Structures are given as C-alpha cells and as structure tokens.
C-alpha cells in the first residue's frame, strides 16, 4: 500500500500551491495532475539523461490516466540554461501547438526546472507550470520558490523571472537512478536548512545523513519534507528576495559561487559540492570575526565529511588566491552597491545577512584558508 502523501503548502503574493511528497507518486501522477489541467495534455520538458532513465515510467502513467503527452527533450547539463536553448524550447512549444491554457511539466533536475519555468513564464505571456523534480537538489530546493532563469556570458542565473508553479509533485523513489555524486551534492542543500535556522534539524542530519545517502527511503522523504517546509516558510515571507530573509537561502553560496566560477561551473565541481565548502568557509569566517564558535564550524565539517562532501578549498585541487576568489564574490549578484553582502552565522541554526562585509578582509581570510590547507596537505605528504 502507498504511504500517505506529505503535503506542504507554499503561500505567495497571488495565492498558494502544494508540494506533494510521496514514494511511488510517479505511477499515480495522472490523478495528481488532473485538477491542474485545463486541457487533457501536458507539454513535458526533460533532459536526455532523465528521459532515458525515467521517461517511460512517466509516459505510461500519463497514458493510463488518458492524459496526452508532448515531450520536449533538451541536452543534459548546465549548457541548456542558455538563450539558445530557451529560444529553441519556446519556439518548439509554439510550433507544437501550446495554448495559453496548457500546462508545462518540468521533469528533471534544476536545469530543466529553471529552463522550463522560464519558458512557461514567457510563452503566450505565461502558462501554467507543474514541477516534477528528479534530482535531490531540485526536490529540496530549485523546484520550490518560483525562481526561473538562464546563464549568460556575464554570469549564472542573471536572466530570469519569478513564475510560481501550480504544484510540485515529488517522488523520492526517482532518486534511485540519480548518480551518487549528484545525490551527495543535493544533500548539501538539505544540511543548509539546518545551518540557516534549525539546529534540531542539523542534529537530525548528523544522525540520519549517512543512512539517507545510502538509500534509506523513509529518511529521504523526511528530509525532503523538512526542506520543503523550511523553504516554503522563507519564500512565503519574502517571495522576491526584498526583505533579505530569502537571501539566507544563499548561505555558503557566495563563497561557493566563487569556487564554481574558478572551475567553470561544470562537472569539475558540482554546485552542491561548492556549497558544502562554501558553508564551511562561511562558518570559519564567522568564527574568525567572533560571531560564532570555531567548534560549530568543526562540527559541520565533520558531518559533511562523513557523507563524503568536501569541506576545504585544498580538497578541490584548484590553484587560486584569496584575491581572485574575492573578485568573483564582488561580481556575484549578491554584491550590492559596492558592498559585499555575505550570509554569516552566529552558530548552527542562526544565519544572518551582513550587508557590509569587507572585501579585503574576506580576501585575506581566503588566503589564510588556502595557506592553511596547503600546509596541512604538505604535512600529510
């Protein structure tokens, strides 16, 4: 018998939508979708890898529910978040007869969600979007909150819209085909919710994280639901990132993005891996400034390392400098009016926004980090 679905409501400026989490949900997706479809069909946007792994399962569930399926499959990977891919997708949707009352179903990781969401917000001046996220990162983060976007030469996610989905349907069993490295990377975003505002949840992660990674299905659903609740709460209070509250979700991300920029935003360093190191850097920097205890930073490092995530710059094997990394941070979209805005911590579960971080001090801290790491590694050799 199927487990009961967990339903988290996300409230936003113009309404609310449910996040439904249930093992095996994909087989019953037709029934879940019905109330959201004006026309008895869906335009499914997916990527080649997800479609090869899970496409048949979605197609047969829709066939069973007599819901028509129009598939649009993009290349897997970050390169699909581009102007070219967006134009291609938008024009294909129109050529295939999409009406304004149609629904686009994003079936994939964060790349597909961001691209399909963007297309849904502009084609025919906006049509309905349903998210069925298939990566752990998308299930706990990117499918919720309504941010869509693509990357341009000048940086990641610089062009985009806010377009809230009509519903998000999460089947944790879809993670069975997700590569383990991607799973670990997504897990970093789960830990992030504990570090931002919930010490109890972080302690839960310490106890359950390794079993969750190893494949315990109940634990995965529990962590996904807790993450959805945490994100829903923040998004409800600050839908468009105006009060600073939503910015807390960027904990570890300014440092992380700088590391990703150094490695070219690709497979060398996955987003979640960069965030894992970034969160440790944010905690160690907070400790260096006297905002929190170094013991908190060490506790987080220990947990992330226990699930196989990196915690230091040296582990990433990139040759860089504090100045270079700080320069990337300055260019990051979170740097406003010449000041570096950073999410720091007063301890596990107490992140806060510091709008006036000193760029030079951050660069000097990063130099010490790089130096400390290389000394430690030299000692190990």
Ligand X SMILES: NC(=O)c1ccc[n+]([C@@H]2O[C@H](COP(=O)([O-])OP(=O)(O)OC[C@H]3O[C@@H](n4cnc5c(N)ncnc54)[C@H](O)[C@@H]3O)[C@@H](O)[C@H]2O)c1
Could you give the residue numbers annotated as active site?
A: 125, 147, 189, 231, 241, 246, 250, 253, 257, 271
**Residues 186-215 within binding reach of ligand X (CB under 6 A):** none
Which among 33-41, 136-144, 162-170, 349-357 is the span making contact with ligand X, rule CB under 6 A?
Answer: 136-144
Say whether residue 142 binds ligand X (CB under 6 A): yes
294-306 and 180-197 are packed helices; what angle lies between their axes, rounded to 10 degrees? Answer: 160
Which among 17-25, 77-85, 91-99, 300-308 is the span making contact with ligand X, rule CB under 6 A?
Answer: 77-85
Say whether residue 220 binds ligand X (CB under 6 A): no
Report the length, in residues, of the chain: 381
In the list 157, 161, 298, 350, the residue contacting ligand X (rule: CB under 6 A) is 157
Yes or no: say if 283 and 297 are a contact pair by the CB < 8 Å rule.
yes
**Residues 35-54 within binding reach of ligand X (CB under 6 A):** 47, 49-50, 53-54
**81 CA to centre of own chain:** 14
In the list 105, 111, 283, 292, the residue contacting ligand X (rule: CB under 6 A) is 111
Beta strands in 220-325 (DSSP E): none
Distance CA 294, CA 62 (A): 52
Yes or no: say if 112 and 74 are a contact pair by the CB < 8 Å rule.
yes
In the list 41, 45, 81, 221, the residue contacting ligand X (rule: CB under 6 A) is 81
Distance CA 9, CA 22 (A): 15
Say whether residue 109 binds ligand X (CB under 6 A): yes
In the list 19, 112, 190, 248, the residue contacting ligand X (rule: CB under 6 A) is 112
What's the token pair of residue 89? 């997708």
Nearest to 225 by CA among 25, 77, 49, 55: 25
Number of residues that bind ligand X (CB under 6 A): 31
Where helices occur in 108-198 by DSSP H, the ranges are 110-122, 136-137, 180-197
Say whether residue 78 binds ligand X (CB under 6 A): yes
**Residues 348-367 within binding reach of ligand X (CB under 6 A):** none
CB hemisphere CA count around 260 (13 angstroms): 23
Say whether residue 135 binds ligand X (CB under 6 A): yes
Q: Decide: helix, strand or coil at residue 256.
A: helix
| Binding-site ranges for ligand X (CB under 6 A) | 47, 49-50, 53-54, 76-78, 81, 108-112, 114, 134-135, 137-138, 141-142, 145, 147, 156-157, 174-175, 177-178, 182, 271
């Amino acid at each position: 018998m199927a487990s009961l679905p967990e339903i988290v409501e996300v409230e936003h400026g113009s309404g609310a939508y449910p996040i439904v989490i249930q093992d095996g949900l994909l087989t019953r997706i037709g029934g879940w979708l019905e109330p959201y479809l004006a026309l008895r069909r869906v335009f499914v946007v997916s990527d080649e890898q997800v479609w090869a792994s899970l496409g048949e399962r979605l197609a047969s569930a829709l066939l069973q529910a007599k819901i028509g399926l129009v598939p649009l499959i993009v290349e897997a990977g970050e390169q699909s978040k581009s102007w070219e891919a967006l134009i291609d997708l938008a024009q294909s949707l129109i050529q295939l007869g999409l009406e304004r009352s149609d629904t686009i179903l994003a079936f994939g990781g964060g790349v597909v969600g961001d691209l399909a969401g963007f297309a849904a917000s502009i084609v025919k001046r906006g049509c309905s979007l349903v998210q069925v996220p298939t990566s752990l990162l998308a299930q706990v983060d990117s499918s919720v909150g309504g941010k869509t976007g693509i990357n341009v030469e000048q940086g990641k996610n610089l062009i985009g819209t806010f377009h809230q989905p009509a519903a998000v349907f999460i089947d944790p069993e879809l993670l069975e085909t997700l590569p383990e490295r991607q799973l670990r990377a997504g897990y970093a975003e789960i830990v992030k919710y504990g570090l931002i505002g919930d010490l109890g949840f972080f302690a839960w992660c310490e106890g359950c994280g390794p079993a969750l990674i190893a494949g315990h299905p109940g634990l995965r659903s529990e962590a996904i639901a807790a993450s959805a609740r945490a994100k829903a709460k923040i998004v409800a209070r600050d839908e468009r990132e105006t009060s600073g509250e939503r910015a807390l979700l960027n904990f570890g991300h300014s440092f992380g993005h700088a590391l990703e920029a150094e490695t070219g935003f690709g497979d060398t360093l996955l987003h979640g891996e960069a965030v894992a190191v970034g969160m440790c850097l944010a905690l160690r920097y907070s400790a260096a400034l006297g905002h929190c205890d170094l013991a908190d930073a060490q506790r987080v490092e220990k947990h992330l390392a226990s699930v196989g995530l990196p915690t230091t710059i040296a582990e990433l094997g990139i040759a860089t400098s504090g100045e270079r990394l700080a320069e990337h941070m300055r260019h990051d979209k979170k740097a406003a009016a010449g000041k570096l805005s950073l999410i720091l911590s007063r301890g596990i579960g107490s992140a806060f926004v510091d709008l006036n971080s000193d760029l030079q001090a951050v660069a000097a801290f990063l130099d010490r980090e790089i130096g400390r790491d290389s000394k430690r590694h030299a000692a190990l050799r």
